């Protein structure tokens, strides 16, 4: 998936109540949405009821984002074994915005701890950006990171290069350079990743955040 490419979503849920709930949330993402039967779905992300006919045999399981009733534990386990992303219905609708954000992030742009270490050891140029609030920095930062809180980031990106440098102490990022985002866990970095990716920035996200990094480096503390 190219940087900045718009994700298309197919909603293959016949139940009108669930259809409305899902499409209402999708409006906030400004993505193309089609309401179709599963066999006619063409989206990059395909939302379906796991208990509907044909879902478990779908030819592109990696595209599926599914939910099922909370009593279907075995069905959920089988779905995950078959590379289908699936949740209980209650969890799915309670956390739908963040689940959708996550599904819009290409897997090659999510770094685990080992991949982050490989980046640290490489000669590749990158900007490691800490999105936490200022008071959280007392618990330590990742090596070489710069700080720009989630609440200030987009206002800062609207500044001129000189204004940005004056206020933040480092050069304003551009859309070509690699930017790696992290926060405490991944909620904030996931949100910012989606927005910056859609704007055309060359972004990746460290999935573990300081919460995981602290297990490997005592200069960073858990909180």
Place of tokens 């490419």: 5
At 29 the pLDDT is 85
Q: Is pLDDT larger for residue 4 or for residue 47? A: 47
Residue 223 belongs to some domain of the structure: no
Q: State the average pLDDT over residues 89-102.
A: 93
Q: How many domains are contained in the chain?
A: 2
Residue 151 belongs to some domain of the structure: yes
Quick one: how many helices (H) and strands (E) in the chain?
Answer: 9, 10
pLDDT for 73 beyond 90: no
Q: Which residues are registered as beta bridge partners of 9?
A: 33, 45
| Domain-ending residue, one of 80, 103, 126 | 103
At 53 the pLDDT is 92
Residue 191 belongs to some domain of the structure: yes
| Domain-ending residue, one of 57, 76, 103 | 103
pLDDT for 192 beyond 70: yes
| Domain-ending residue, one of 77, 103, 129 | 103
Residue 195: name the closest of 64, 105, 76, 92 by CA. 105
Residue 170 belongs to some domain of the structure: yes
Please indicate, yes or no, whether residues 168 and 205 belong to a single structural domain of this protein. yes
Residue 168 belongs to some domain of the structure: yes
Q: State the average pLDDT over residues 69-74.
A: 78
Burial classification of residue 173, based on how many CB atoms lie within 10 Å of its CB (0-12 exposed, 13-18 middle, 19 or more buried): buried
Q: State the average pLDDT over residues 199-210.
A: 95
Residue 4 pLDDT level (bands cut at 50, 70, 90): very low
Please indicate, yes or no, whether residues 96 and 149 belong to a single structural domain of this protein. no
Please indicate, yes or no, whether residues 40 and 96 belong to a single structural domain of this protein. yes
Of the listed ranges 31-35, 70-74, 120-124, 155-159, the one predicted with least confidence: 70-74
Flag whether the pTM goes above 0.75. Answer: yes
At 5 the pLDDT is 54
Q: State the average pLDDT over residues 196-222.
A: 95
The boundaries of the domain holding residue 114 are: 107-213
| Strand pairing class (33-35; 9-12) | parallel
Please indicate, yes or no, whether residues 132 and 162 belong to a single structural domain of this protein. yes
CATH at 176? 3.40.250.10
**pLDDT tens by residue, 169-188:** 999 999 999 999 999 998 89
pLDDT for 1 beyond 60: no
């Amino acid at each position: 998936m190219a940087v900045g490419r718009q994700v298309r979503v197919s909603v293959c849920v016949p139940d009108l109540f669930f259809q409305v709930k899902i499409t209402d949330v999708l409006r906030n993402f400004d993505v193309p949405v089609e309401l179709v039967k599963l066999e006619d779905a063409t989206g990059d992300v395909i939302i379906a009821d796991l208990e509907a006919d044909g879902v478990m045999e779908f030819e592109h399981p990696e595209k599926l984002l599914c939910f099922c009733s909370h009593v279907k534990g075995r069905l959920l386990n089988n779905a995950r074994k078959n590379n289908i992303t699936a949740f209980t219905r209650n969890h799915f609708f309670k956390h739908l915005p963040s689940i959708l954000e996550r599904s819009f992030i290409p897997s090659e742009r999510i770094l685990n701890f080992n991949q982050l270490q490989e980046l640290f050891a490489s000669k590749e140029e990158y900007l490691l950006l800490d999105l936490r609030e200022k008071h959280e920095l007392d618990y330590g930062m990742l090596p070489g990171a710069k700080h720009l809180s989630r609440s200030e980031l987009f206002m800062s990106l609207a500044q001129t290069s000189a204004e940005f440098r004056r206020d933040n102490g480092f050069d304003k990022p551009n859309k070509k350079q690699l930017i790696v985002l992290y926060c405490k866990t991944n909620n904030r970095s996931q949100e910012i990743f989606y927005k910056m990716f859609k704007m055309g920035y060359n972004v990746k996200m460290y999935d573990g955040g300081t919460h995981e990094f602290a297990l490997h480096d005592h200069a960073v503390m858990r909180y």
